[in-house]
Amino acid sequence: MKFLSRAADLILSHLREARERPLVRRTLAIGHWTLLAAIVALLFYRLTQIGWGEVIRSIPASPWFFLFFILRYLTLPLSEGAIYEIIWDRPLARHFPAFIRKRVYNNAVAGYSGEGFLALWARRALGLSGKAALISIKDNNILSSLAANISTVLIVAALAATGGLQKAIAIHPGSAALVAFSTVIAAAMAVAVIFFGKRLITLPRAKVFRVVSIHAARQVVTLVLFAAMYASALPNASLGAILLFIGLQLVISRVPFLPNQDLVYMTAALSIASVINSPPEVVAGMLVAEAGLSQLLSVALFFATAHLARRTGAPNPLKPPGVAQVGTP
């Protein structure tokens, strides 16, 4: 184990050094925006095929759809505020905007960019040392990924058992590799945390159980809200069809460093609309409403919490890595 730990540290050290090289930073930035442009172009093409007029007319009219969406959006920052109160042993209710901004970074830009922001914010706003902030965020991420990975494996297994997964893969055979990759990674990570958690996590056992409990409860609440939101927009869809959407989003969420998970999910979800017992324009209208709400809410909350970035010197999520930022370094 010590050899593996030293090897992992050496690899991470070389990756960090490479990441700081100007050429690598520019290449990553170009790749980030190129991938995002490709996703947007593909999404635009698919919506054009369906018909923009039909899509717009099919946007959900039920107020429950929008209520469930907002509740689902807020579930993560609310739960993380409670979790970091446990980890950092201090009240954080008045710092709720920081957890909102962290969510904006992760969802609207790339996975884990929010963790970098939170580490800087905790150091400046709460007086934590950089090391303490990073270690606590690392511990929480490991426990959060445990709950998410278990949820992913269970949902994918349920879809495979009911035949829903096979129908989706039959439409785009190439997606089988993505599902297999994400599921194997999720299962392997869950097993690793269960068996080697003591070596990976520095939190006291009592805090670990409390944090895991909150993450597990959040997963259940999020999945219930997701199902309720889609059921309000697609009243003719079966539970299996709704689980297919949930499983797809969980699989995509397991792929790190995607440029914009919401748009990636929407693009992929449009591909499986044909296996849902609803007209494709209705499915597209629902997905457009969901993605549009997510982007509008993210932009609004980004500007509403801009003062946090100025205070922490956190990177601007609307700019790619390597671009000069405004703020204190």
- 162 versus 216: the higher-pLDDT residue is 216
Give CB contacts under 8 A, 24+ apart, made by 128-137: 128/88, 135/202, 136/84, 136/87, 136/88, 136/203
pLDDT at position 278: 74
What does the pLDDT look like over 234-280, one tens digit per residue? Answer: 888 888 888 888 888 888 877 766 666 777 777 777 777 777 777 77
- 202 versus 318: the higher-pLDDT residue is 202
Lowest mean pLDDT among 155-159, 174-178, 227-231, 237-241: 174-178
Task: Tell me the C-alpha distance between 112 and 304, whole Å.
Answer: 21
pLDDT at residue 184 above 60?
A: yes
pLDDT-derived band at 81, boundaries 50, 70, 90? very high
- 119 versus 184: the higher-pLDDT residue is 119
- Of 317, 2, 132, the C-alpha closest to 326 is 317
pLDDT at residue 327 above 50?
A: no
pLDDT at position 111: 61
- Of 275, 280, 287, the C-alpha closest to 240 is 275
Lowest mean pLDDT among 6-10, 77-81, 137-141, 247-251: 6-10
- 130 versus 81: the higher-pLDDT residue is 81
Mean pLDDT, residues 311-320 taken together: 45
- 313 versus 251: the higher-pLDDT residue is 251
Query: What's the predicted TM-score (pTM) here?
Result: 0.75
pLDDT-derived band at 225, boundaries 50, 70, 90? very high
Where along the chain do its domains lie? 22-312
What does the pLDDT look like over 11-66, one tens digit per residue? Answer: 445 445 555 667 766 776 676 667 667 666 766 666 666 566 766 776 888 899 99
Supply 2's token pair.
């010590």
What does the pLDDT look like over 185-223, one tens digit per residue? Answer: 778 878 888 887 778 888 998 999 999 999 999 999 999
Task: Tell me the C-alpha distance between 224 and 243, whole Å.
Answer: 10
pLDDT-derived band at 228, boundaries 50, 70, 90? very high
pLDDT at position 140: 93
What does the pLDDT look like over 87-126, one tens digit per residue? Answer: 999 999 999 999 999 998 887 666 677 888 899 899 988 9
pLDDT at position 56: 75
pLDDT at residue 9 above 60?
A: no
Task: Tell me the C-alpha distance between 277 and 242, whole Å.
Answer: 10
Average pLDDT, the chain: 78
CB of 33 closer than 8 Å to CB of 320: yes
pLDDT-derived band at 300, boundaries 50, 70, 90? confident
* In the chain, alpha helices (H): 2-19, 22-50, 52-57, 63-88, 96-108, 113-125, 130-162, 164-171, 175-200, 205-233, 239-253, 261-271, 280-304, 306-312
